[in-house]
Amino acid sequence: MITKPTTKFALVDTQGVVVDGATEIDVTNDVGSWKELEIEQCREDTTGVISEVSFPITFHFAAKELLEKLFEANGFYAEALFRIYKRADFSDDYTLVREMRLDFSTYKADRNGVEIESINDDLAEYISSRKSTKYDIKVSEIADSKKWHYERMRLLDTGSWSISPWDEDPKSEDANTITVLEGDVATLLMNVNAVEMTPGGYENIFQTQEHSDADGRGEYNDLAPFFFQSAEAGKLYGPFTVTIKTKICASCKTTVMDYMAHLRCVLLWKSVGTGYKVIKEWTPDESSYSVISSEWRCAWNIDWTSDGDYEVAEGQGHPAFPGIYLNAGDCLAFAVLNKNNIDHPIAGYRSSARFWAAEDPEPKVTMSFFGQNLNEFKDIGVIDPQQLLQKFIDLMTEQDSAHRTYTGEIDWGELYPAQVRISAAESLRGFEEAVLHGKFSDFVDWMRTLGYEYGITGNHILFKPRDQYFLKGTTALELADDEVEGLEIEASDAYAYTNVKIGYDKQDYESVNGRAEANGTFEYTTGFLRREEKTLELISPYRADSIGIELLCREADNKSKSTDDSADNDIFFVALNDDGNSYATYKTQQITDKDTGVSMFNAPFNPYWLVQANRSLLGITTTRLRFAGTDMNRNASIGSENIYRDVEIATSDQLFRPVTYSFATGNFKDLPSPENWNGLVKFTFDGVRRAGFIRKIMKNYSLETETEWQLWMVE
């Protein structure tokens, strides 16, 4: 009677170079390096359990001769299968335990034998060897049948002007000052500086406001100069914001005591079909008389914003809505006004005052408003991530998409409230034949940042929420006390993180609106101290910044086309709702910049919510993440949610404890079946019941050696 299982080895010449490809050659007595024939079930960090086997094998005698002939015939491209069979107790029947290809790129021969490594013919091996290869994929080949009907963002259009100051040097008096007769008005010289407008939007006019030549009649309509003219209608939810920060000075040689009190700085508004009208005026806030120069002086210290100003609202006729609203063609001008009306003894004589801007503070005027695109919507091609996953698999395995052996799948679970779709930068920029430039390893890192892991069973890869690969309600295997030997319990340094970085790489925008973007990198500390810093980085290679998406769309709007192609290789993803024939932007939650009022989409992918999606992973290290900082907007909110706060993590959310169980079992004990790999291995040692998730199992089917186990501690 057979009392111990035995092992059988076989080779198959799959190309039929030496023997028929259907013939299996028994090489049980020709294999020399049995000690290396180990099968491993393990996780890569917190993936699902994956079965792996790869080791060098030494062949002698007839097996050596066969492999030499195959290599001589086809070199690297030679093919052969190596099979391992196990004979069970009390049976003469063999069961196939493992089938592996031999990797002839590792072929090494001498007079005694041939050494060659095995390689799995399953999906894990293809991924391992080609995951970092960057592929160019035509978007049209994998695009969703529905497009994203993107409602364009209204970003801030901005302009700034400087008022030329006068240092009171008589040599430059005529260039940088203006004289205004009593009863008259004149504009100051304001040089336009920086302007940022919506490409493809309405052509608002930001211009240098020239000195006006007052004709002495005091009529505002005679003022040709202005600093801004609107080409679009303002709406009550987005007024035009004007700020003025300057010190304006005036002087006059006069004996009239209250002369300076009748001088004004004014903001003028001209509507289509009407003349200019004062909608804001400032009276001097300081006045003095100089005995040396025999003149009166006064000054205005202006630090003003139109936001919330009911005076301008009253002047424009919308008293309930503070701020400035402009219709198409409306103009704004900043001017000085001499309201004196003196009865002089000399007929026709009129006094005057000289006005200028002081050097300190730097005299500056700014305007901002939410610009509107001429095209309110844009249809953008998007990709279902599962289609991209399958495309990567097709390319890595070089399989025909019409006859697939290797497949991929995503189970999104309930981590996010919207559908996830991908868009290539070239699609956003409006390229006719858009290409996505990507690699599988980036896809994996992106999914991991979102809170997903993968598992591989044979030729199928499945991404799903990380917690679903650690099933506390499933038993993978039960081990009795007499089946477990040499238990060691050891703290794991692998999860001893001092801090966490989560989110996205920092983006540098050539736009004032870039400061509003909140989807950057958030940093937290864990409260754990150690000699050296250890950082957990969950940084997505794919971008979720809505400002970046909008700015790329504006590149498409801009007919001159920017030459900046630095973002063309980038991949973006968005939260969408299925709107029937198209996708609509998910807006149930939005990010709002408190400084500018800019509203942004992709709130579910803000780093604050990424932390929530990764609670179980982060909980391995800490029960409290302490917010440290961000490299992007620090003053945004999602509804009433404070996204810049500490995060508490309950012990019950912990994936497992950062402790490993290591022990051995006899060779007779089989490994857990694939359907239960991700459940708990339960065992008893010295009368104490324990349980953990598989970290690694090493089993040698060819020798009667112990099976080595490593588990992540749960209880």
Alpha helices in 407-560 (DSSP H): 425-428, 440-450, 546-557
CB atoms within 10 A of CB 416: 17
Confidence (pLDDT) at 204: 85
The reply to whether 311 and 392 lie within a common domain is no
Residue 233 lies in a domain: yes
Average pLDDT per 10 consecutive residues for the chain, totaling 715 residues: 65 90 88 68 90 79 94 93 82 82 93 88 85 97 97 90 89 81 88 82 84 62 78 65 96 89 94 86 93 90 94 91 88 92 70 91 91 83 98 96 94 97 96 96 98 93 97 95 95 95 93 91 95 95 96 77 65 97 97 92 98 97 96 95 95 95 85 89 96 92 80 95
CB–CB of 30/43 below 8 Å?
no
Place of tokens 């994203």: 148
Residue 45 lies in a domain: yes
Residue 663 lies in a domain: no
CB–CB of 112/60 below 8 Å?
yes
The predicted-structure confidence for 394-453, as pLDDT tens digits, reads as follows 999 999 989 999 999 999 999 999 999 999 999 999 999 999 999 999 999 999 999 999
Residue 674 lies in a domain: no
State whether residue 301 is helix, strand or coil. Answer: strand
Sequence-separated contacts (24+) of 134-138 with Cβ below 8 Å: 134/437, 134/438, 134/439, 135/392, 135/395, 135/437, 135/438, 135/439, 136/435, 136/436, 136/437, 137/388, 137/391, 137/395, 137/435, 137/436, 137/437, 137/438, 138/433, 138/434, 138/435, 138/436
- Selection from 255, 277, 267 nearest residue 300 by Cα: 267
Confidence (pLDDT) at 560: 46
- Selection from 508, 669, 672, 680 nearest residue 89 by Cα: 669
Domain boundary among 339, 372, 405: 372
The reply to whether 343 and 491 lie within a common domain is no
Q: What distance in Å separates the CA atoms of residue 290 and residue 193, rounded to the nearest whole number?
A: 36
Domain boundary among 317, 340, 372: 372
Confidence (pLDDT) at 138: 97
The reply to whether 519 and 558 lie within a common domain is yes
Q: What distance in Å separates the CA atoms of residue 80 and residue 77, rounded to the nearest whole number?
A: 10
The reply to whether 141 and 246 lie within a common domain is no
Residue 576 lies in a domain: yes
The reply to whether 140 and 48 lie within a common domain is no
Residue 700 lies in a domain: no
Residue 679 lies in a domain: no
Q: What distance in Å separates the CA atoms of residue 623 and residue 525, rounded to the nearest whole number?
A: 11
Place of tokens 């700015």: 551
Could you tell me the pTM of the whole model? 0.84
Domain count for the chain: 3
- Residue 694 backbone zone (phi > 0: left; psi -120 to 50: alpha; other: beta): beta
Q: Who's near 269: CB < 8 A, 6+ residues apart?
A: 276, 277, 279, 312, 315, 316, 324, 326, 330, 331, 332
- Selection from 330, 335, 225 nearest residue 270 by Cα: 330
Residue 125 lies in a domain: no
The reply to whether 113 and 141 lie within a common domain is no
Domain boundary among 372, 404, 435: 372
The reply to whether 139 and 164 lie within a common domain is no
* DSSP code string of 34-47: GGG-EEEEE-STTS
Domain that holds residue 272: 156-372
The reply to whether 54 and 185 lie within a common domain is no
The reply to whether 404 and 346 lie within a common domain is no
The reply to whether 203 and 62 lie within a common domain is no
Q: What distance in Å separates the CA atoms of residue 454 and residue 389, rounded to the nearest whole number?
A: 12
Confidence (pLDDT) at 4: 44
Q: What would the 3-class secondary structure string for 221-250 be? A: HHCCCCCEECCCCCECCECEEEEEEEEEEE
The reply to whether 397 and 541 lie within a common domain is yes
The reply to whether 367 and 380 lie within a common domain is no
